[in-house]
Amino acid sequence: MKYRIIYEPEARNDLIDLYEYITMRSDPDTALRYVERVEASCEALARFPTRGTAAYDVRRGLRITGFRKRVSIAFVIATDEVRIVRIMYGGRDLPGQFTTELSD
């Protein structure tokens, strides 16, 4: 079964923030390539969504997987979709990023 990938608005904003962060420290082409690789990692969850580590103590159904040791991709698996909740770069405070629950 192939799951549909859905990006929550916060995750989309995280990608924009990541692009801007890298652009300030490097250049737009490097930032775009990096963000595209992060997105490809998210899209790969369509085939193998149970990878990563369960983080149910943070949020019900939450799983976390890493990308290149610097990015954490937080997601929830639903019936036929994977919802990308947050994409966090570096050492952000994980519990502070998840203040709401998904409705079932």
β-pairing verdict for 4-7 and 81-89: parallel
| Domain 4-95, second-level architecture | 2-Layer Sandwich (3.30)
Give the pLDDT confidence score for residue 98 in this predicted structure: 52
Q: What is the pLDDT of residues 53-85, one digit of tens each?
A: 888 777 788 999 988 888 999 999 988 999 999
Cβ(5)–Cβ(82) below 8 Å: yes
Residue 2 pLDDT class (50, 70, 90 cuts): very high
Provide the 8-state DSSP code for 56.
T
